Amino acid sequence: MTKKILTSPMDMRPHEIRFAMMQAGVHQAEVARELDVSQNSVHLIIEGKAVSDRIRRKIAEKIGLDIARIWPSVYLYGGPRKPGRPYYQGRKAA
């Protein structure tokens, strides 16, 4: 059984994110320590196997790229979303 990937083809690929982190001298463990999460949590976000806005924002901040450049499908176009979370475009469900 394969895990569902929560990214889109337009998003940066995991190896591109890791390369940007390497160029910026940022390690997954450093991001994890600053956010008080496990290194595996950061790894899963980079691999597209989990969703965390807080971790994504920290990664973008640390490597100096706009978050919409790394994950445009989420921050420009509004999807894909974590399963079970409704997507509202400014209106609440009736």
- Give residue-wise pLDDT tens across range 27-77: 999 999 999 999 999 999 999 899 899 999 999 999 999 999 999 888 887
Tell me, yes or no, whether 92 lies in a domain. no
Residue with tokens 């982190």: 21
Instruction: Give the chain's end-to-end CA distance (angstroms, integer).
Output: 37
Rg (CA), the chain: 14
* Domain annotation covers residue 85: no
pLDDT of residue 73: 83
pLDDT at 10: 82
Torsion sign, CA atoms 25, 34, 52, 39: positive
- Confirm whether 94 is domain-assigned: no
Q: What is the CATH number of the domain that holds 34?
A: 1.10.260.40
Asked whether residue 84 is assigned to any structural domain, the reply reads: no
Any domain includes 86: no
Number of helices followed by number of strands (H, E) in the chain: 6, 0
Per the structure, how many domains does the chain have? 1
